[in-house]
Structure 1
Amino acid sequence: MSGRCGGTTRVGVLVGGILAGAFLMAAVGIICFFLQRRSRHLKNQMSGKRLLNEATGSSSVPFFPYKDIERATNGFSEKQRLGTGAYGTVYAGKLHNDEWVAIKKIRHRDPESAQQVMNEVKLLSSVSHPNLLRLLGCCIENGEHILVYEYMPNGTLSQHLQREKGAVLPWTVRLTIAAETSHAITHLHTAMNPPIYHRDIKSSNILLDINFNSKVADFGLSRFGMMDDSHISTAPQGTPGYVDPQYHQNYHLSDKSDVYSFGVVLVEIISALKVVDFSRPHSEINLAALAIDRIGKGRVDEIIDPFLEPNRDAWTLSSIHRVAELAFRCLAFHRDMRPTMMEVSDELEQIRASSWAPLEDNMCVASSVASSVSSPYNGSEISLSSTIAKMAGIGSRRSVVPCKTVDVLPEMDESMDSSPVSVQDPWLSEQSSPSTNSLLGNVAR
């Protein structure tokens, strides 16, 4: 009996030892797993910060841990998705200060997308202007590339022009947005050394804050220019309908490429027409071609958005015509015939200031503008026969903010259809900003 008990005891001890050893091994394995996971996490963070430092030359751009981004978007919840494009998805989120931000999660994890992210971080960290969208930080971790921007509650200019969001923008607001956008692009071209060429100026990359102030966004395709030459050679990229035809033809990128794209935006502001619309006649599919034809023949009124009520006063009609004439010059096929962005910006400010001129002066200008664009386009620039001088001593401007502003994300469900930052707009089955497009053949040469 005692032998049997002793054997049972020894077996029990042996089993207990085996179980204890198994538990110990399991505990060691779990500890090793978490240590390795933490090590990989720290390695990813260090790798992300290293890439960030290489891109910016410093650590001035805040680095957000992936877990904070994930928490801010509720695990990238569909309820917080604000927009989806070819290169990524934008979510609304709150980080540490309870303020809404726009978080763009890049979809593709390849060298090209990583390069675009680093390019945008590098450029935005080197510029500062009230009409350029602020980059608040980024996250390069767990194989993800994420950019964090300030939140733009009033969406994009394109959404308003296409009646997809909010009320119709009055002419004074549109003119102010055009002027502010031109200031931002001028800053990139003239205040930076070397200059920066945006390469993707379009209405969906012009964002509007709570007061409808303009913010130029999306620098993924931007490039630094060259100080010792008028252009740089690079494969043409951009969005169909906005790409400079000379850049598309000979791969020569210059500051005048942005001028051309901005000219298309000016036509959008005047007409509220789509930049590319296959429902229009074949020769008018491309808005630039349509505008060149109508403006060159002195038939601007045919493309003016009727919601602007251009005939309600002399200043509105004359200023729309002047902006149309400016757009016409920006759309010149030969880049040497286009104005610089600084000249465009100065002229838009003169047009804004002319709203304070006496009524008789505005009526004279309206007549002058009509006569100056009455002859068919023959390849040369159209010039106004007279201009309105900027009035001295203007202390304030006409109110340009619509009566009703948009609350900052009052209800998430109400904001799902609007995107606070541009994520390359879908282009025929979500392919946007292709490097080439056949539609440019429609642009008059």
Structure 2
Amino acid sequence: MIDLKIFILLLISTFPTFISQKPYCDRTCPGSILTDLPYPFGFSAGCEIPLNCTPNGTVSIGEFSVQKVNEQELLVSVPSKCGRAVEALRGLYSDHYAPTSDNAILMENCTEKVRTCSVPETLIQPNLEVIDCGGERNASGNVSCYSDDRRSMFLDYENVTKTGCRFLLSGMVVKIVGDNPAVSLNVQVVRLGWWVKGKCECSDVAVCTEVVSPVDGGGGYRCECEEGLVGDGYKASSGCRKGSSGCSPSKFLFGHCEGSERAGILVGVVVIGAPLIACLGLIYRYIRHRTIAKSRGTSSRRLCEAKGITIPIYSFKDIEKATNGFSDKQKLGTGAYGTVYKGKIRKAVDFSRRHSEVNLASLAIDRIGKGNLDEIIDPFLKPIEDVSTLNSIRKVAEVAFRCLAFDSDMRPPMTEVASVLQQIRASNFAS
């Protein structure tokens, strides 16, 4: 049975889901430097664009690790590697992202020299000195660099594979500096552009950039807040607003909200969440009470159905009435297991009077002392005849016999009971 405090904590931890009524998206990867990913990225099925979170805290797309995620791009590490099939580049294409046209793809073992690269060879060679592919690179260079038309948004995968190159060595992101022909390189990485599928669903004060998927030709979009506003611009997320930061319920729970925003979301949580938690708490207590009552009733019936035992079962109201509300005049005494009362219970069928003074502890002591364990053990255990189980039952009965002693000085401490039970368990495993 789950503890009530744990139940409430679990409820609070999932409270943002109840408010939004949308599939939960886990945006944290334990141990990763990429924390609290922006919409629409995350690490669970409820996210628009799910990424992989490895057990060691690495965020990845296929075999490539992700270095950077923001509102415009994904930056993926593609370290220089010999013998990696050029088809590995296909893993960077999906229905939500693809390499952009400002990438330069370095390949080797080509049928002929590729001459479409926007990066001067004098800048490529220094970045390849640390790579040794078994001496296969000849003096004229067996490395080719492919770049696409920068007027297009994404790199054409089909054109890359048509170059006749077998291996994907690495990648570079090429940035044009100003109006001059100078370039800036980010080596051993590939830049991915991303989009949300469908028609524009941006905030009214956000700019929508339409995207055509290079994978299936479908429509997509990205949102960006207008200048002077903050937020991600998406209607499905935080939208756009004035101020320096936004405070969503998830950010509030992780302590990322400040000032009036934190106070505002706290008031909202209290007003909406308190009645919900109280209601669910009452439901939980009711279910727990019913479960315990049912369990006790089942245990009592099993005990009473054991061989040779005929113990009548009365309701609490019958016992309360028979003892005049547990009057002191009906009290027989107080023993090790509570107070014992005498009472007369009138059955509705024949109005005959029966006296009931049942002490289950005395009953158990009597049966254990006489060796009649089969009259009090669970009927489920009776068909079992293997020596190991029978010995375990006898040893547990001996411990129970000592624990049921009327004189408290004769009862063993719980540490000793635990030790004896552990020894019984160990001997059972050994056999």
Scaled by the length of structure 2, what TM-score is found? 0.23
The structure with the largest helix share of the pair is 1
Larger Rg: 2
Structure with more contact order per residue of length (Cα contacts < 8 Å, sep ≥ 6): 1
